[in-house]
Amino acid sequence: MAQCSRRKTPRHVAIIMDGNGRWAQMRGHRRLVGHHAGAKRVKEILRTCPNLGIDYLTIFAFSTENWKRTQVEVAGLMTLFKRYIRYETQSLHDEGVRVRFIGDRVRLEPALVDLMDNLELLTAGNSGTYLTIALDYGGRDEVARAARRLAQDVARGQLDPRVVSDETLPKYLDTYFLPDPDLVIRTSGEARISNFLLWQSAYAEYEFIDTLWPDFTPAEFATVLNRFDNRKRRFGAVPV
């Protein structure tokens, strides 16, 4: 029996929020102004998820490669993340959002990690939209860290290597608690995936949108989802 998706609305949408820097530069501002404008969009898009039938929203906030940006931009982004979490924690909780972070936390400053831990803990029992924020995240890094943990379990005798399959590794990924994304959206006209959810997106649909992230409105989000309705997902099988 071919596995065709019967549910039209994507249950899990992942977004590469690209174009903040260009948005700011086009207006004669510093790049950080674009990141601040982008942060405002996050909440607007998140708020539309329940009405659109989206249960899981995953956003790419900072990649393992983003450390290569100027010290000013990296420091500005870290300050933005701290402020954002501090400012939004209570309202995210009040709105029933459940927040998780994926990525490697070792390079992040302890004050930021504390805020992330607190937000995760506070919202852990909520049943609204599952918001996952990728911060110091890279798909290859995630798979390498998963492989390391898996190898440790084998070395300790807790895992038999003969039973390792493509169903084993996902349990070691940062996203072990998430279903695979149905739809990955990238704004700003770039058509690449930039190390985002490499394993998880094997059968995701992709939408590359020209709009820069700070201009991406809930209305355009709804339009993109309508296009998704017209796609036929076959997961490698033949339709019957």
* Closest residue to ligand FPP using C-beta atoms: 21
Beta strands in 120-231 (DSSP E): 130-137, 183-186, 205-208
Q: Which is nearer to ligand FPP, 132 or 150 (CB)?
A: 132
List residues with catalytic annotation. Answer: 18, 66
Q: In what order do the strands lie in the sheet with 130-137?
A: 98-102, 130-137, 56-63, 12-16, 183-186, 205-208
Q: Which is nearer to ligand FPP, 146 or 224 (CB)?
A: 224
Between 122 and 161, how does the x/- string for binding to ligand FPP read (CB under 6 A)? -----------x----------------------------
Specify whether the CB–CB gap between 103 and 67 falls below 8 A.
no
Tell which residue, 193, 205, 168, has the closest CA to residue 12: 205
- DSSP label of 66: G
Q: Does 82 bind ligand FPP (CB under 6 A)?
A: no
Residue from 14, 76, 84, 200 binding ligand FPP (CB under 6 A)? 84
Angle between helices 218-229 and 31-52 (to 10 degrees): 50
The set of residues, in sequence order, having a beta carbon less than 8 Å from that of 24 and lying 6+ positions away, is 30, 31, 32, 33, 34, 35, 37
Between 50 and 69, how does the x/- string for binding to ligand FPP read (CB under 6 A)? ---------x-x----x---
Closest distance between ligand FPP and the C-beta of residue 171, in Å? 26
Site for ligand FPP in 169-228 (CB under 6 A): 188, 213
Binding site for ligand FPP (CB under 6 A): 17-22, 35, 38-39, 42, 59, 61, 66, 80-81, 84, 133, 188, 213
